[in-house]
Amino acid sequence: MINKIVIPAAGKGTRMLDLAKDRPKHLISVLDKPFLYYVLKNIQDAGYEEMILVVGHHAEKMVEFARNEGSEFPITIINQFDVMGTEKYGTAIPVLAAQESVGNENFVCIYGDNIYSVRDLKAMRELENGFSHVSLLYVDNPEKYGVPILDGDLVKDFVEKPKTFISNWASIGCYKFTSEIFSECEKVEKSERGEYELTDAIKSLAKQGKVKSRKMIDYWLDFGNPGDIEKVAKFLQSEKL
């Protein structure tokens, strides 16, 4: 069983506007607790023994959270800026920042602004094989996501925000990686957006036949803009967690 999970939570959260001006968006309150608390609670209930939280923007607030509301969780904090510097930005960078803590073990990776069910997080722990895995969710608007080209459950390639229809199964930021992801992240070059993209590293592994897909059993909640605060609160109050 996989016991380590990497949680990138270093971004500025610009879509949250002034709500994230003086703190990471992950610490914005939902029903009197920081959003991140609910992310970590599900991870804990799924049985993970080490939560590697990669921080950056307002890192001191994340340290404060770990000492207070987050003290019940097995958190290891890594400051992305200390490890990787402040010049490189993008989803591949926090994964690289966690390399020393992960070592050669398989690990799960989810973004700190996303909530997944305990059942799905448990299922990710069981993917102890030589493949990396991408979790897929059926969506009505695949043009807004990264969509894999599949051969059975094997991922052959990835198309980011496809202009022509491929399928309704989209990647929603829940991964299981082998340690091979680190060398692939190191090879990634800056994208058109000026960022180092994790999906480029996954695409490289996919072209080597080393990536499989798994379909989500339950739900995915994204926490990206102010309107999501009410949506998440209503979901939590519905007791679906």
Please state, for a pLDDT cut of 70, what percent of the chain lies above it: 99
Task: Give the pLDDT band of residue 14 (cuts 50, 70, 90).
Answer: confident
> Cβ of 121: how many Cβ atoms within 10 Å?
24
Say which DSSP state 163 is in.
Answer: S
Identify whether the C-beta of residue 172 lies closer than 8 Å to the C-beta of residue 136: yes
At 128, the pLDDT band (50, 70, 90 cuts) reads confident
Round to whole Å and give the CA distance between 26 and 7. 11
pLDDT score at 240: 53
Q: 158 pairs with which residues across the strands?
A: 148
88 vs 65: CA distance, rounded Å: 25
pTM: 0.95
pLDDT confidence band for 16 (50 / 70 / 90)? confident
Is the predicted pLDDT of residue 31 greater than 60, yes or no? yes
Residue 239: which pLDDT band, with cuts at 50, 70 and 90? low
Whole-angstrom distance, CA of residue 27 vs CA of residue 66: 11
What is the C-alpha separation between 92 and 114, in angstroms, rounded? 17
Residue percentage of the chain with pLDDT more than 90? 90
> What is the rounded CA–CA span in Å between residue 217 and residue 176?
16
Give the fold, CATH level 3, of 4-130+175-190+219-237.
Spore Coat Polysaccharide Biosynthesis Protein SpsA; Chain A (3.90.550)
Averaged pLDDT for residues 49-72: 96
pLDDT band for 129, please (50, 70, 90 cuts). confident
pLDDT at position 11, please? 86
SS3 label, residue 20: helix
Q: How far lies 42's CA from each of 28, 53, 150, 212, in Å?
A: 18, 15, 29, 24
Is residue 27 within 8 Å of 57, Cβ to Cβ? no
What is the spatial distance between Cα 64 and Cα 76, in angstroms, rounded to a whole number? 13
Mean pLDDT, range 95-105, rounded to an integer:
97
Assess whether pLDDT exceeds 80 at residue 113. Answer: yes
pLDDT, mean over the chain: 94
What residue ranges do the domains of the chain occupy? 4-130+175-190+219-237
Quick: pLDDT tens for 87-98: 999 999 999 999
Q: Name the phi and psi angles at 50, rounded to 5.
A: -140, 120
Q: State the pLDDT at residue 21.
A: 85
CB 214 within 8 A of CB 136: yes
What would the mean pLDDT of 159-167 be, rounded to a whole number?
Answer: 92
